[in-house]
Amino acid sequence: MLSVDYNLDHSNMKKINFGVFIIALVFTSCGNKRHPGKIYMPDMAYSRAYETYEPRNFKGEGFNYVSYPVKGTIRRGDLFPYTVPNDSNGFKMSAATKDPLPPLDTLGMNEAQRLYNINCGICHGTKLDAQGPLAVSGKVGGIVNLKLAPYKDYAPGTIFHVVTYGKGNMGSYASQLDKKQRWMVVQYVKSQQAPAGGLTAQSDSSLRVTAPADTTAKL
Ligand code: HEC
């Protein structure tokens, strides 16, 4: 049986008195807003939480910390950066850029179709025939039929280039689709262009698929 001793001796009373004192101190010490108390270990109260990629000279401040990724490194799982420039020369060079993805399986192709329908179908139409709602309503002019020449013969890299940077009335899709998703959409577009007689990079190795001369890019 557990028994409780109610006979508090002298030392226990001292402990209780001390406890009451501490509690009173806690309640009174923060009362005066004009004279805030001292902070014990301010580093813990206000942590040095810096933003990622904060433009700041940490080395100069005495910290051995680099807030930027090391130059030339890429995010784990990310594709290599696309470095072909957004100008007329870059447009021509884009045809030589190879698709880094393996050919998509059925599941991947379904996802690519979904991405195409969401991001491109609104203008180019789900059948690539420039019959999307924004084309039919006339809200966006100059939408091209991707099943007709010269577009059906575009190299995958050139389609990637156009989706990355945009062209004419078409904006860039680099912020909506990451690099992998853009290449997936490219594979879907090429898969739909092939039955329309569109050339693919794989059609024939002796066949060099090049983009037609760019007439619209100004830079
Ligand atoms: C807001 C409407 C719109 C959307 C959405 C759109 N496009 Fe376009 N696209 C256009 C227009 C307009 C052009 C004609 C651009 C020009 O050359 O002036 C074009 C041109 C193109 C071309 C040919 C580029 C050239 O050389 O003229 C390709 C390839 C293309 N689009 C692919 C896509 C893909 C893939 C997507 C989805 C990621 C997409 N587009 C989404 C409007 C759109």
Q: Would you state the structure tokens that stand for residue 58, as one six-digit string?
A: 């940490």
pLDDT tens figures, 78-113: 899 999 999 999 999 999 999 999 999 999 999 999
Ranges under pLDDT 70 in the chain? 1-11, 13, 24-32, 199-219
Which of 183, 129, 118, 121 lies closest to 152, judged by CA? 129
Shortest-distance atom of ligand 1 to CA 91: 26
From 170, 178, 185, 216, give the residue whose CB has the most ligand 1 atoms within 8 Å, as the site to mutate. 170
Question: How far is it, in rounded angstroms, from Cα 139 to Cα 116?
Answer: 19
Q: Which residue has the CA at smallest separation from atom 43 of ligand 1?
A: 170
- pLDDT at residue number 203: 46
pLDDT at 192: 96
pLDDT for 34 equals 78
The confidence score (pLDDT) of residue 55 equals 83
**pTM value?**
0.72
Q: Output the residue whose Cα is nearest ligand 1's atom 3.
A: 123
CA dist 211 and 149 (Å) reads: 11
pLDDT the model gives residue 49 = 77
Residue ranges covered by each domain of the chain: 88-193
Pocket of ligand 1 (CB under 6 A): 119-120, 122-124, 134, 140, 142-144, 146, 151, 154, 159, 162-163, 167-170, 173, 185, 189, 216
**What stretches of 30-145 show up as alpha helix (H) in DSSP?**
42-45, 88-93, 106-119, 121-124, 133-136
Is residue 186 classed as helix, strand or coil in its secondary structure? helix
CA–centroid distance, residue 143 to ligand 1 (Å)? 6
Which superfamily, per CATH, for 88-193?
Cytochrome c-like domain (1.10.760.10)
Shortest-distance Cα residue to atom 18 of ligand 1 = 168
